[in-house]
Amino acid sequence: MKNYILALTILLSSCSFEQANDDEVVIYTSRQPQLIENLLDVFTEETGIQVTVLSGDAQQLMERIAVEGVDTDADIFMTVDAGVLWQAADKGIFNPVESEVLSSRIPQHLRDIDNQWFGFSKRARTIVYSKTEIDPQDLSSYEALASKEFMGKLCLRTSKKVYNRSLIASMIEANGSERTERVVKGWVNNLAEPVFSSDTNVLKAVEAGNCSLTVVNTYYLARLIESNSVENLGIFWANQEDRGVHVNISGAGLVKWSNNKSSSIKLLEWLSSDTAQEMYAKANKEYPTVDGIPLHPVIEAWGDFKEDLIQVDKLGSMQSDAVFIAQTAGYN
Ligand code: FE
Protein backbone atom coordinates (compact mmCIF):
# COMPACT_ATOMS: atom_id res chain seq x y z
CA MET A 1 0.00 0.00 0.00
CA LYS A 2 1.10 3.51 -0.67
CA ASN A 3 1.90 5.91 2.06
CA TYR A 4 0.29 9.31 1.68
CA ILE A 5 2.00 11.86 3.79
CA LEU A 6 0.50 15.32 3.93
CA ALA A 7 3.13 17.81 4.86
CA LEU A 8 1.54 21.22 5.04
CA THR A 9 4.50 22.69 6.82
CA ILE A 10 7.69 21.06 5.74
CA LEU A 11 10.54 21.18 8.15
CA LEU A 12 13.83 20.53 6.48
CA SER A 13 15.12 18.78 9.57
CA SER A 14 12.29 16.29 9.80
CA CYS A 15 12.88 13.51 7.36
CA SER A 16 10.82 10.49 8.25
CA PHE A 17 11.29 8.37 5.16
CA GLU A 18 12.91 5.02 5.19
CA GLN A 19 15.48 4.50 2.49
CA ALA A 20 13.67 3.88 -0.77
CA ASN A 21 14.03 0.33 -2.02
CA ASP A 22 14.33 -0.78 -5.63
CA ASP A 23 10.60 -1.26 -6.07
CA GLU A 24 9.58 2.07 -4.63
CA VAL A 25 9.31 5.48 -6.25
CA VAL A 26 9.01 8.59 -4.05
CA ILE A 27 7.17 11.58 -5.51
CA TYR A 28 7.44 15.05 -4.00
CA THR A 29 4.44 16.97 -5.29
CA SER A 30 2.36 20.10 -4.88
CA ARG A 31 -0.62 18.23 -6.31
CA GLN A 32 -3.30 17.20 -3.86
CA PRO A 33 -2.99 13.48 -3.06
CA GLN A 34 -6.60 12.74 -4.05
CA LEU A 35 -5.87 13.88 -7.63
CA ILE A 36 -3.19 11.25 -8.15
CA GLU A 37 -4.00 8.52 -5.61
CA ASN A 38 -6.22 6.35 -7.84
CA LEU A 39 -3.89 6.78 -10.77
CA LEU A 40 -0.84 5.62 -8.82
CA ASP A 41 -2.77 2.63 -7.46
CA VAL A 42 -3.30 1.48 -11.05
CA PHE A 43 0.41 1.95 -11.79
CA THR A 44 1.32 -0.18 -8.75
CA GLU A 45 -1.19 -2.86 -9.78
CA GLU A 46 0.23 -3.00 -13.30
CA THR A 47 3.93 -2.89 -12.44
CA GLY A 48 4.35 -3.99 -8.81
CA ILE A 49 6.28 -0.76 -8.17
CA GLN A 50 5.22 0.94 -4.91
CA VAL A 51 4.77 4.72 -4.91
CA THR A 52 5.07 7.02 -1.91
CA VAL A 53 3.80 10.59 -2.14
CA LEU A 54 4.95 13.58 -0.13
CA SER A 55 2.61 16.53 -0.70
CA GLY A 56 3.41 20.13 0.07
CA ASP A 57 4.06 23.59 -1.26
CA ALA A 58 5.92 23.58 -4.61
CA GLN A 59 8.53 26.16 -3.61
CA GLN A 60 9.29 24.44 -0.31
CA LEU A 61 9.51 21.02 -1.94
CA MET A 62 11.92 22.08 -4.68
CA GLU A 63 14.00 23.94 -2.08
CA ARG A 64 14.01 20.83 0.08
CA ILE A 65 15.22 18.63 -2.79
CA ALA A 66 17.98 21.14 -3.59
CA VAL A 67 19.10 21.27 0.06
CA GLU A 68 18.91 17.48 0.59
CA GLY A 69 20.93 16.84 -2.57
CA VAL A 70 22.36 13.30 -2.66
CA ASP A 71 20.50 12.50 0.58
CA THR A 72 17.05 13.21 -0.85
CA ASP A 73 14.43 10.48 -0.95
CA ALA A 74 12.69 12.19 -3.87
CA ASP A 75 12.74 10.34 -7.19
CA ILE A 76 10.23 12.53 -9.01
CA PHE A 77 9.19 16.16 -8.54
CA MET A 78 5.65 16.80 -9.82
CA THR A 79 3.94 20.19 -9.84
CA VAL A 80 1.79 22.61 -11.84
CA ASP A 81 2.75 25.42 -14.19
CA ALA A 82 5.66 25.49 -16.62
CA GLY A 83 6.92 28.56 -14.75
CA VAL A 84 7.45 26.46 -11.61
CA LEU A 85 8.95 23.49 -13.49
CA TRP A 86 11.33 25.86 -15.22
CA GLN A 87 12.44 27.23 -11.81
CA ALA A 88 13.02 23.68 -10.55
CA ALA A 89 15.17 22.95 -13.61
CA ASP A 90 16.97 26.25 -13.05
CA LYS A 91 17.82 25.10 -9.50
CA GLY A 92 19.42 22.00 -11.02
CA ILE A 93 17.24 19.39 -9.31
CA PHE A 94 16.35 17.41 -12.45
CA ASN A 95 18.11 14.75 -14.49
CA PRO A 96 17.25 14.91 -18.21
CA VAL A 97 15.39 11.81 -19.44
CA GLU A 98 15.95 10.57 -22.97
CA SER A 99 12.93 8.39 -23.56
CA GLU A 100 11.54 7.26 -26.88
CA VAL A 101 8.13 6.86 -25.24
CA LEU A 102 8.03 10.35 -23.71
CA SER A 103 9.36 12.15 -26.77
CA SER A 104 6.89 10.43 -29.06
CA ARG A 105 3.86 10.76 -26.73
CA ILE A 106 4.24 14.26 -25.24
CA PRO A 107 4.10 17.05 -27.84
CA GLN A 108 7.40 18.92 -28.21
CA HIS A 109 6.04 22.27 -27.01
CA LEU A 110 4.65 20.75 -23.79
CA ARG A 111 7.98 19.50 -22.44
CA ASP A 112 11.32 21.03 -21.54
CA ILE A 113 13.59 21.44 -24.56
CA ASP A 114 16.33 19.55 -22.68
CA ASN A 115 13.84 16.88 -21.50
CA GLN A 116 14.28 17.83 -17.83
CA TRP A 117 10.49 17.78 -17.31
CA PHE A 118 7.38 16.72 -19.21
CA GLY A 119 3.79 18.00 -19.31
CA PHE A 120 1.23 15.37 -18.29
CA SER A 121 -1.90 17.53 -18.30
CA LYS A 122 -2.86 20.78 -20.02
CA ARG A 123 -4.68 23.68 -18.45
CA ALA A 124 -6.36 26.26 -20.64
CA ARG A 125 -6.64 29.83 -19.29
CA THR A 126 -9.36 31.69 -21.13
CA ILE A 127 -12.17 34.26 -20.93
CA VAL A 128 -15.32 33.54 -18.89
CA TYR A 129 -18.22 35.98 -19.10
CA SER A 130 -21.62 36.71 -17.60
CA LYS A 131 -24.27 35.54 -20.06
CA THR A 132 -26.63 38.34 -18.98
CA GLU A 133 -24.02 41.12 -19.26
CA ILE A 134 -21.88 40.19 -22.26
CA ASP A 135 -22.63 39.23 -25.84
CA PRO A 136 -19.87 36.76 -26.79
CA GLN A 137 -19.87 38.37 -30.26
CA ASP A 138 -18.12 41.32 -28.59
CA LEU A 139 -15.27 39.12 -27.34
CA SER A 140 -12.12 38.23 -29.24
CA SER A 141 -8.80 38.16 -27.38
CA TYR A 142 -6.93 38.74 -24.10
CA GLU A 143 -5.61 41.94 -25.66
CA ALA A 144 -9.12 43.21 -26.48
CA LEU A 145 -10.06 43.04 -22.78
CA ALA A 146 -7.99 46.24 -22.50
CA SER A 147 -10.37 48.20 -24.73
CA LYS A 148 -12.62 50.93 -23.32
CA GLU A 149 -15.83 49.02 -23.99
CA PHE A 150 -14.99 46.81 -20.99
CA MET A 151 -14.36 49.72 -18.60
CA GLY A 152 -15.56 48.79 -15.10
CA LYS A 153 -16.49 45.26 -16.24
CA LEU A 154 -13.33 43.21 -15.88
CA CYS A 155 -12.27 41.29 -12.78
CA LEU A 156 -8.91 39.52 -12.49
CA ARG A 157 -7.01 37.32 -10.11
CA THR A 158 -3.82 38.86 -8.72
CA SER A 159 -0.75 38.96 -10.98
CA LYS A 160 1.18 37.41 -8.09
CA LYS A 161 -0.25 34.05 -9.12
CA VAL A 162 2.10 32.24 -11.48
CA TYR A 163 -0.84 31.47 -13.84
CA ASN A 164 -1.17 35.17 -14.70
CA ARG A 165 2.58 35.66 -14.94
CA SER A 166 2.69 32.82 -17.48
CA LEU A 167 -0.23 34.37 -19.40
CA ILE A 168 1.61 37.71 -19.53
CA ALA A 169 4.80 35.92 -20.61
CA SER A 170 2.87 34.36 -23.52
CA MET A 171 1.68 37.83 -24.56
CA ILE A 172 5.23 39.21 -24.43
CA GLU A 173 6.32 36.36 -26.70
CA ALA A 174 3.48 37.08 -29.14
CA ASN A 175 3.33 40.88 -29.06
CA GLY A 176 6.52 42.22 -27.50
CA SER A 177 7.00 44.07 -24.21
CA GLU A 178 5.69 47.49 -25.18
CA ARG A 179 2.36 46.31 -26.48
CA THR A 180 1.98 43.89 -23.57
CA GLU A 181 2.53 46.70 -21.08
CA ARG A 182 -0.17 48.78 -22.81
CA VAL A 183 -2.57 45.82 -22.71
CA VAL A 184 -1.96 45.11 -19.02
CA LYS A 185 -2.43 48.82 -18.22
CA GLY A 186 -5.72 48.66 -20.11
CA TRP A 187 -6.82 45.66 -18.02
CA VAL A 188 -6.02 47.55 -14.83
CA ASN A 189 -8.03 50.56 -16.07
CA ASN A 190 -11.00 48.29 -16.78
CA LEU A 191 -11.09 46.59 -13.37
CA ALA A 192 -14.46 46.61 -11.63
CA GLU A 193 -12.94 45.53 -8.31
CA PRO A 194 -9.50 45.06 -6.74
CA VAL A 195 -7.76 41.86 -7.83
CA PHE A 196 -8.97 38.53 -6.41
CA SER A 197 -7.03 35.87 -4.52
CA SER A 198 -8.35 32.88 -6.48
CA ASP A 199 -9.88 31.88 -9.81
CA THR A 200 -12.91 30.49 -7.97
CA ASN A 201 -13.59 33.76 -6.15
CA VAL A 202 -13.36 35.78 -9.33
CA LEU A 203 -15.78 33.38 -11.09
CA LYS A 204 -18.24 33.76 -8.21
CA ALA A 205 -17.98 37.55 -8.53
CA VAL A 206 -18.93 37.30 -12.22
CA GLU A 207 -21.80 34.94 -11.38
CA ALA A 208 -22.98 37.40 -8.69
CA GLY A 209 -22.96 40.27 -11.20
CA ASN A 210 -20.15 42.27 -9.53
CA CYS A 211 -18.09 41.89 -12.69
CA SER A 212 -18.98 40.93 -16.26
CA LEU A 213 -15.94 38.97 -17.35
CA THR A 214 -12.63 37.46 -16.29
CA VAL A 215 -9.79 35.13 -17.29
CA VAL A 216 -9.43 31.78 -15.48
CA ASN A 217 -8.19 28.22 -15.79
CA THR A 218 -11.11 26.25 -17.16
CA TYR A 219 -11.04 23.47 -14.53
CA TYR A 220 -12.22 25.99 -11.90
CA LEU A 221 -15.28 26.70 -14.04
CA ALA A 222 -15.81 22.97 -14.60
CA ARG A 223 -15.86 22.37 -10.83
CA LEU A 224 -18.46 25.10 -10.27
CA ILE A 225 -20.61 23.78 -13.12
CA GLU A 226 -20.42 20.23 -11.81
CA SER A 227 -21.46 21.29 -8.31
CA ASN A 228 -24.34 23.36 -9.79
CA SER A 229 -22.89 26.49 -8.16
CA VAL A 230 -23.16 28.67 -11.28
CA GLU A 231 -25.63 29.03 -14.12
CA ASN A 232 -24.84 32.37 -15.73
CA LEU A 233 -21.26 31.83 -16.87
CA GLY A 234 -20.19 31.32 -20.48
CA ILE A 235 -16.78 30.27 -21.73
CA PHE A 236 -15.08 32.01 -24.64
CA TRP A 237 -11.99 30.63 -26.37
CA ALA A 238 -9.62 33.59 -26.67
CA ASN A 239 -7.46 34.52 -29.66
CA GLN A 240 -8.93 31.96 -32.07
CA GLU A 241 -8.15 34.33 -34.96
CA ASP A 242 -4.46 34.43 -34.11
CA ARG A 243 -2.20 32.37 -31.81
CA GLY A 244 -4.90 30.57 -29.80
CA VAL A 245 -5.78 30.06 -26.13
CA HIS A 246 -3.01 30.26 -23.53
CA VAL A 247 -2.20 26.74 -22.39
CA ASN A 248 -0.06 25.74 -19.44
CA ILE A 249 0.76 22.32 -18.02
CA SER A 250 1.13 20.23 -14.93
CA GLY A 251 4.20 18.07 -15.19
CA ALA A 252 7.03 16.18 -13.61
CA GLY A 253 10.68 15.30 -13.96
CA LEU A 254 13.23 12.82 -12.65
CA VAL A 255 15.19 14.07 -9.62
CA LYS A 256 18.94 14.23 -10.24
CA TRP A 257 19.75 12.23 -7.08
CA SER A 258 17.08 9.53 -7.51
CA ASN A 259 18.20 6.14 -6.20
CA ASN A 260 15.73 4.35 -8.40
CA LYS A 261 15.97 5.89 -11.83
CA SER A 262 14.68 2.97 -13.89
CA SER A 263 11.40 2.57 -11.99
CA SER A 264 11.01 6.36 -11.87
CA ILE A 265 11.38 6.65 -15.65
CA LYS A 266 8.90 3.78 -15.98
CA LEU A 267 6.41 5.84 -13.96
CA LEU A 268 7.01 8.98 -16.04
CA GLU A 269 6.51 6.96 -19.22
CA TRP A 270 3.39 5.33 -17.79
CA LEU A 271 1.94 8.80 -17.08
CA SER A 272 1.88 9.34 -20.85
CA SER A 273 -0.12 6.14 -21.47
CA ASP A 274 -3.75 6.32 -22.63
CA THR A 275 -5.03 4.96 -19.29
CA ALA A 276 -3.03 7.39 -17.18
CA GLN A 277 -3.72 10.38 -19.42
CA GLU A 278 -7.46 9.86 -19.22
CA MET A 279 -7.51 9.29 -15.44
CA TYR A 280 -5.12 12.14 -14.64
CA ALA A 281 -6.89 14.75 -16.79
CA LYS A 282 -10.36 13.75 -15.63
CA ALA A 283 -9.40 13.85 -11.93
CA ASN A 284 -8.83 17.63 -12.07
CA LYS A 285 -10.97 18.38 -15.15
CA GLU A 286 -7.86 19.34 -17.10
CA TYR A 287 -6.93 18.40 -20.67
CA PRO A 288 -4.66 15.43 -21.49
CA THR A 289 -1.36 16.37 -23.16
CA VAL A 290 -1.63 13.34 -25.46
CA ASP A 291 -4.08 13.82 -28.36
CA GLY A 292 -7.20 11.70 -28.82
CA ILE A 293 -7.85 10.88 -25.14
CA PRO A 294 -11.49 11.05 -23.96
CA LEU A 295 -12.30 14.22 -21.97
CA HIS A 296 -14.36 14.83 -18.85
CA PRO A 297 -17.99 15.34 -20.03
CA VAL A 298 -18.17 18.92 -18.66
CA ILE A 299 -15.16 20.02 -20.69
CA GLU A 300 -16.07 17.89 -23.70
CA ALA A 301 -19.23 20.04 -23.94
CA TRP A 302 -17.14 23.20 -24.47
CA GLY A 303 -15.85 21.92 -27.80
CA ASP A 304 -12.46 22.18 -29.45
CA PHE A 305 -10.25 25.22 -29.48
CA LYS A 306 -7.04 26.37 -31.07
CA GLU A 307 -4.19 26.54 -28.55
CA ASP A 308 -1.13 28.75 -28.40
CA LEU A 309 1.79 26.52 -29.38
CA ILE A 310 4.41 28.54 -27.50
CA GLN A 311 7.26 26.36 -26.21
CA VAL A 312 6.22 26.19 -22.53
CA ASP A 313 9.81 26.66 -21.24
CA LYS A 314 9.46 30.27 -22.30
CA LEU A 315 6.68 30.78 -19.77
CA GLY A 316 9.39 30.17 -17.18
CA SER A 317 12.33 31.99 -18.73
CA MET A 318 10.16 35.09 -19.35
CA GLN A 319 8.59 35.06 -15.87
CA SER A 320 10.74 37.93 -14.56
CA ASP A 321 9.83 40.08 -17.60
CA ALA A 322 6.17 39.34 -16.90
CA VAL A 323 6.54 40.38 -13.25
CA PHE A 324 8.23 43.61 -14.32
CA ILE A 325 5.41 44.46 -16.73
CA ALA A 326 2.71 43.68 -14.15
CA GLN A 327 4.44 45.99 -11.65
CA THR A 328 4.96 48.79 -14.18
CA ALA A 329 1.32 48.55 -15.26
CA GLY A 330 0.05 48.66 -11.66
CA TYR A 331 -1.45 45.14 -11.85
CA ASN A 332 -1.29 43.96 -8.24
FE1 FE B 1 -5.10 25.82 -10.05
DSSP string, 143-165: GGGGSGGGTTTB--B-TTSHHHH
- What distance in Å separates the CA atoms of residue 51 and residue 37, rounded to the nearest whole number? 10
From ligand 1's centre to the CA of 156, what distance in Å? 14
Determine the pLDDT at residue 82.
Answer: 94
Task: Give pLDDT tens digits along the chain (332 positions).
Answer: 444 544 433 333 334 444 445 689 999 999 999 899 999 999 999 999 999 999 999 999 999 999 999 999 999 999 999 999 999 999 999 999 999 999 999 999 999 999 999 999 999 999 999 999 999 999 999 999 999 999 999 999 999 999 999 999 999 999 999 999 999 999 999 999 999 999 999 999 999 999 999 999 999 999 999 999 999 999 999 999 999 999 999 999 999 999 999 999 999 999 999 999 999 999 999 999 999 999 999 999 999 999 999 999 999 999 999 999 999 999 99
From ligand 1's centre to the CA of 100, what distance in Å? 30
Determine the pLDDT at residue 23.
Answer: 87
- What distance in Å separates the CA atoms of residue 3 and residue 241, rounded to the nearest whole number? 48
Q: Determine if the pTM surpasses 0.85.
A: yes
From ligand 1's centre to the CA of 163, what distance in Å? 8
Helix, strand or coil, per DSSP, at residue 51: strand
From ligand 1's centre to the CA of 217, what distance in Å? 7
Determine the pLDDT at residue 16.
Answer: 41
From ligand 1's centre to the CA of 48, what distance in Å? 31
**What CA–CA distances, in Å, run from 291 to 139, 216, 238, 272?**
28, 23, 21, 11
The structural domains of the chain, ordered by start, are 2-122+249-294 (3.40.190.10), 123-246+312-329 (3.40.190.10)
Q: Are 249 and 121 in contact (CB under 8 A)?
A: yes
From ligand 1's centre to the CA of 251, what distance in Å? 13
From ligand 1's centre to the CA of 285, what distance in Å? 11
From ligand 1's centre to the CA of 22, what distance in Å? 33
Tell me the residue ranges of DSSP E strands in the chain: 4-6, 24-29, 50-55, 76-80, 118-130, 213-217, 233-236, 246-254, 287-288
Give Cα 253 distance to the centre of its chain: 15
- What distance in Å separates the CA atoms of residue 28 and residue 150, rounded to the nearest whole number? 42
